[in-house]
Structure 1
């Protein structure tokens, strides 16, 4: 109990203000999960879940009686969504990793179909419009549409990662573009700076997966000769 009390109350002084320790730790776990995702390692999912649990307690604001800047229902809800989708992704990647000839990587990156891309874009816009009045009624921090946008984008990006779609990195970029100003204005500076860094990191991850998808695609072409999944994983 003493450890939990310390965890919920601990703050890190920075200049004339403070950072919430749980927020910092949650984002560190999130970054580690992103690195694991870029390398296509199964451990990325449980590490991400640990970070989601920490950030959930942060964005719920005064629900836990802690002195957090503001309550962001979209940000809190996306942590619950992350955990649910992460369980799906964790199971999917474990199955892929255990498949014969899977190699070192847990998933094979590939491009989504044009139809899937249109569905992702439409879902992002429609979901944002549908959730904005819901979050507004719950008292989420304005602009509420930005909170809804980050929620829907995070849902689609996490699902895309579970499916192995290379485009999921670009969805994260769209989330960061809106999420960074929202978090700065709400006073969640640790998360805002991490989102800013994620924006650069996700572009890197996109090109890493793009190259891996290209290698896998060329390895399946008859002209290039046979290549095992393990060889492809090493080359990626």
Structure 2
């Protein structure tokens, strides 16, 4: 059996839901990656890249093209995020990545990307039904994930808000697509996102304090 064949083999059944290995492994690694992101560890990016590689197999298996695209976006953005956090992002006093709230201009750009991107991708999926059986939720998750990861790479607290909005659609979408473990793990993501949001929110004040104290009177 090939590696992809094994990944998409059934692991076990719980309450009538058939769980496959790629769904289990990919989402478990993704959960670790999100936890590392909460800790502001640069290793969040390799974990997210590995999770994306495995979940591509899961989403191809259930013909969920939008989510395949989502995982490809995660893979590409993880490479960029790694570079941002190792070279381009400001460091906090404790050595971790400094976090902050986005400016109003940055928020407007992120919202515009989310709205226009969802309309464009949803329109594409609607025009070509073979790409996705559930075009608009699929497009929303696809674009929302991109927006969230861009915000994370820039150390913006809004990253967590974006993930919460993705979860609101991602949970029911995964259950109806046959990826039960993805649906369950998204619920765990939701709890971790709330925890991470609180931590980054408080930390953004700490990271900003030295700059404020050093500012001219």
State the match for 1:65 in structure 2.
none
State the match for 1:12 in structure 2.
12
State the match for 1:128 in structure 2.
118
State the match for 1:214 in structure 2.
205
Seen in structure 2, the aligned counterparts of structure 1 residues 39 and 124 have a Cα distance that, compared at 3 Å, is: same
- Partners in 1 of 2:123 and 2:99 — Cα distance? 36
Tell me how far 1:200 sits from its aligned partner. 2.0
State the match for 1:139 in structure 2.
130
TM-score, length basis structure 2? 0.90
Of residues 125, 141, 158 in structure 2, which corresponds to 1:167? 158
Structure 1 stretches of 5 or more lacking a match?
Answer: 62-69, 225-236
Aligned length, in residue pairs:
214
TM-score, length basis structure 1? 0.83
- Partners in 2 of 1:59 and 1:4 — Cα distance? 12
1:102-117 correspondence to structure 2 within 5 Å: 103-105=94-96, 107-117=97-107
Q: Between Structure 1 and Structure 2, whose CA radius of gyration is higher?
A: 1
State the match for 1:88 in structure 2.
80
Of residues 41, 56, 65 in structure 2, which corresponds to 1:73? 65
Tell me how far 1:142 sits from its aligned partner. 4.2
Tell me how far 1:223 sits from its aligned partner. 7.8
Structure 2 stretches of 5 or more lacking a match?
Answer: none
- The Cα RMSD (Å) is 2.2
2:95 is paired with a residue whose SS is coil
1:196 is paired with a residue whose SS is helix
State the match for 2:146 in structure 1.
155
After superposition, the C-alpha distances for 1:52-109 in whole angstroms (9 at most, x for unaligned) are 0000011012xxxxxxxx3111100010110101001011111258x8986431x100
- Partners in 2 of 1:176 and 1:116 — Cα distance? 22
- Partners in 2 of 1:101 and 1:157 — Cα distance? 21
- Partners in 2 of 1:190 and 1:92 — Cα distance? 31
Seen in structure 2, the aligned counterparts of structure 1 residues 96 and 115 have a Cα distance that, compared at 3 Å, is: closer
- Partners in 1 of 2:164 and 2:91 — Cα distance? 34
Q: Which stretch of structure 1 is more off in the superposition, 25-34 or 132-141?
A: 132-141
